[in-house]
Amino acid sequence: MNWIPLTSESQLEEIITTSNEAPVMIFKHSTRCSISSTSLNRLERNWNESEMANVKAYYLDLIANRAVSNKIESLLHVEHQSPQAILIEKGKSSWDASHYDIQYDEIKKALGR
């Protein structure tokens, strides 16, 4: 998977703008949580680059960048969870899941693929 690191609050405005042209996914990961590591691993193992060619995937390290997660919650009105995957389309959250509900097939379904 070609993750784009999400490390600053200023990137969020760019992400929201980008989502008007193509879907964006943010994966919020806690490096101290085994459930988060399992969810990340499953997502990376199942991710199909050709099916998701136009989806930009951002990786947020929650331990290092908690303020960014707080900003996501306030801008997109998605309650913080960890781990968490959020799809953003047309400037709004179109789907989110946390813990073991983060599944590649569900992301595909949410994107209509």
Residuewise pLDDT in 10s, the chain (113 residues): 899 999 999 999 999 999 999 999 999 999 999 999 999 999 999 999 999 999 999 999 999 999 999 999 999 999 999 999 999 999 999 999 999 999 999 999 999 98
SS3 per-residue string spanning 40-99: HHHHHHHCCCCCCCCCEEEEEECCCCHHHHHHHHHHHCCCCCCCEEEEEECCEEEEEEEH
Number of domains observed in the structure of the chain: 1
Compute φ and ψ for 91, nearest 5 degrees.
80, 5
Nearest to 88 by CA among 6, 1, 7, 17: 17
Q: What pLDDT was estimated at residue 113?
A: 83
Q: What pLDDT was estimated at residue 11?
A: 96
26: CATH: 3.40.30.10
Q: pLDDT of 52-73, one tens digit each?
A: 999 999 999 999 999 999 999 9
Range of the domain at 24: 4-110
